[in-house]
Amino acid sequence: MLAFFLSSGLFLGWSLGANHLSNVFGTAVGSGMIRFRTAAILCSIFIILGAVVSGAGTSATLGTLGKVNAAPGAFMVALAAAVTVYLMTMVGHPISTSQAIVGAIIGWNFFSESRTDYDSLIKIATTWVASPIMSAIFAIVLYKLYAFFIRLFKVYMFKLDALNRYGLIVAGIFGSYSLGANNIANVMGVFLPVYHFPDITFFGQLTLTSDQQLFFLGGLAIALGVLTYSRRVTMTVGSGILEFSPVAALVVVWAHSLVLFLFASEGLRGFLQSLGLPSFPLVPVCSSQAIVGAAIGVGLLKGGGRTVKWRTVLCIARSWMLTPVAAALISFVCLFFVQNVFQQNTYRPVAYKLTAPAMQRLQQAGLYRPQLEKLRDKEYPHAVAFGQALAAVAPLSQRQREGVLNAAELANLVINDECLATLRRDWITPEQFRALVSLKGQRFSHKWLLAQALAAASPSWRPQSGDEKHNRELERKLARLYMLLEAEPLKQ
């Protein structure tokens, strides 16, 4: 059954692969510089690499938007996104898989009456607007630089041709890697909280975590789309940039690939943060819109506003609004059917209560308000109800509301002999396991209480300042623990 639930994500991946090879290798294949088969193989390999090595960042951002916590729900969200992509394509509307999946997740949030992280949503929406603009700027700068060096070194026509060829191939490879890293979240992001596989180690050196295994599966689906269905799209529609000179086409592909990489690379983000510079949020962006942005940049540089197809720009702007709304509606309706007609649990209800420990936590975090006493020890069945009660008693900013919601989120975590006996040891260290054993017999009403207790029991459960990789790994393990230690399913 679990394999079946993954199928919608794999289908979404397949369609992504079928449609996006043209963005990274379209010009190289269309002008005969590289054969389609070579491009498809290279694209497939590097998409999978990008997804497995660098896919975690954007997936984490989608995860903060909405925590889909049931496999049927995740299946439906991915299917709703895929259906939206299909329907919008049928009516000839430019479509973004990223926007569709975000809309579908919000649809799940509304259906399950879970909270939507509006900070994440604003960050994501801002990035959608920013990415084609950044792509245009990068294209202009890269074009100027490339033209300068061609003039400076007086590159012979045929050498320039060879440079362009290799440049297009390298850009295609980089673009494929970036596409995998950036867009795998669209394909597999919703499944991460609900699927947990044991880690796999190869030759004692290379370990694939559960998330990476899911990314690998998603990457395979994208690669399959590339290999089986992208030829027609690449040869007939192409990337729409064939009318540009090879220099311009090269610059467009590079600009697009850079933008996707910037919004996916955790390494780059960590590097910028270590220098105290502003970093890029890790958000899935639309590959096609990045290509269009870059093409517009080159068009503006060469011919001014006359060369820009403003109709295309308007279509893209319209899709920013239409696509998520359509996906949210389709997701809501489909979830209703699956929940009520097929009797599948599309979500696990999450209740909220301001318990005494929660109040203490709010005081420590500086979020306590006397008005919150009115809500003390009252249980609310879901985030929407609690949020409404909160808004009625205490005016709080979005960030403050998130803090209160986090503190009040109820759980029913029990560490007993049965849990400890069935717990696989391959994903936690012996020290971490001993810390867990030391808490045997205890019950935790909030997830953060368990995290605090574990941190107190052992340094191996404590986050380390500045070590993002360790902290993310810690969060992953805690998320898994929360799922495994949930005492009994909460009633719907």
Partner 1 sequence: MKFLVFKKQNGIQKQIDDFLDQVSEAGMLFRNGIAAYLKGDIEALQQRLESISETERRGDGLSRKIEEQLYRQTLIPESRGDVLELLENMDRLLDRFKGSLWRFEAERPDIDAEFHDEFEELCRCVVESVESMVLACRAFFKEINQVTDHMHKVSFWEKECDKLSTRLEKAIFRRQDLTLCQKLQMRDLMRAVDKTSNRAEDVATRLSIYVLKRAL
Q: Residue 230's closest CA among 401, 36, 365, 61?
A: 36
Q: Amino acid letter at 189?
A: G
Asked if residue 158 binds partner 1 (CB under 8 A), the reply is yes
Q: Is 37 among the residues that bind partner 1 (CB under 8 A)?
A: no
Taking CB under 8 A as the rule, does residue 42 contact partner 1?
A: no
- Burial track 418-434 (b if 16+ CB lie within 10 A, e otherwise): ebeeebeeebbeeebee
Q: Which stretch binds partner 1 (CB under 8 A): 41-49, 145-153, 190-198, 481-489?
A: 145-153
Contacts of 138 (CB under 8 A, 6+ apart): 254, 255, 258, 259, 294, 297
Contacts with partner 1, 219-258, as mask; x by CB under 8 A: --------------------------xxx-----------
What Rg value do the Cα atoms of the chain yield, rounded? 24
Asked if 491 is part of the footprint of partner 1 (rule: CB under 8 A), the reply reads no
Task: Please give the size of the binding site for partner 1, defined by CB under 8 A.
Answer: 18
User: Which of 3, 90, 152, 157 contacts partner 1 by CB under 8 A?
Assistant: 157
Find the shortest distance in angstroms from Cβ 231 to partner 1: 18
Question: Smallest distance, Å, CB 310 to partner 1?
Answer: 25
Please choose, out of 148-156, 263-271, 340-348, 455-463, the segment that lies near partner 1 by the rule CB under 8 A: 148-156
**Cα(240)–Cα(90) distance, rounded to whole angstroms?**
19
> Hey, which residues between 69 and 98 contact partner 1 (CB under 8 A)?
none
Please give the C-alpha separations between residue 380 and each of 18, 59, 80, 114, 367, in angstroms, as whole numbers.
45, 29, 29, 12, 19
Least separation in angstroms between residue 25's CB and partner 1 is: 15
CB 361 within 8 A of CB 407: yes
Q: Report in angstroms how near the CB of residue 246 gets to partner 1 at its nearest.
A: 6
The answer to whether residue 307 forms part of the interface with partner 1 (CB under 8 A) is no
Show Cβ contacts of residue 260 under 8 Å, excluding neighbours closer than 6 positions: 175, 178, 179, 181, 182, 183, 285, 287, 290
Supply the angle between the helices 2-30 and 210-232 in degrees, to the nearest 10: 50
Instruction: Please tell me whether residue 306 binds partner 1 under the rule CB under 8 A.
Output: no
Among 150, 389, 393, 439, binds partner 1 (CB under 8 A): 150
Q: Does 274 bind partner 1 (CB under 8 A)?
A: no
Among 37, 159, 374, 378, binds partner 1 (CB under 8 A): 159
Q: Would you give the binding string for partner 1 spanning residues 14-33, x where CB under 8 A is met?
A: -----------------xxx
Q: List, as one string, the DSSP characters of 86-116.
A: HHHHHTT----HHHHHHHHHHHHHHHHTPPP
Question: What does the binding site for partner 1 look like in residue numbers (CB under 8 A)?
Answer: 31-33, 147, 150-151, 154, 156-159, 161-162, 165-166, 245-247
